[in-house]
Amino acid sequence: MYLLINDEYGQEIAAVQYDEEKEKLKDVFDAARVKYPHNAFCVSSSSATMPEPAAPELTDDEKKARALAELDSHYTSDKQELSTQYLDAAMAGDTDTMTAIKDELAALNAKYDEDYEELNK
């Protein structure tokens, strides 16, 4: 959490980051009041004057799950696009395009299976 220090116009001029589990707000507030005796304060979960803390490093399992989700998302999107194109070709009676789309779908399925196996090694 952050204890934000505001100027007379309510604009954030500084912030003090503190850990709610390790520090009491009263102690943080008292220390800030000494340093900024004529300013207003508020508590917030974010600050405009302080950078966000770095995101924690993902574990190997989390990285794998994220990669699999991304693979599935791309596959589903590509398959939906091919299905739409196939339907358009079928409605137009264009059998050559339908055959070409079937071949693309087979290649897409093979590529998905290959990528999936690679991620699950």
pLDDT above 80 for 52: no
Number of other residues whose CB lies within 10 A of the CB of residue 4: 23
Residue with tokens 């339907």: 87
Q: How confident is the model at residue 18, as a pLDDT? A: 87
Is the pTM for the entire model greater than 0.85?
A: no
Residue that the structure tokens 């409605």 belong to: 91
In the chain, which residue ranges form alpha helices assigned H by DSSP?
25-35, 60-92, 95-119
Tens digits of per-residue pLDDT, 57-96? 889 999 999 999 999 999 999 999 999 999 999 999 999 9
Q: What is the CA radius of gyration of the chain?
A: 28
**Within 10 Å of residue 117's Cβ, how many Cβ atoms?**
9
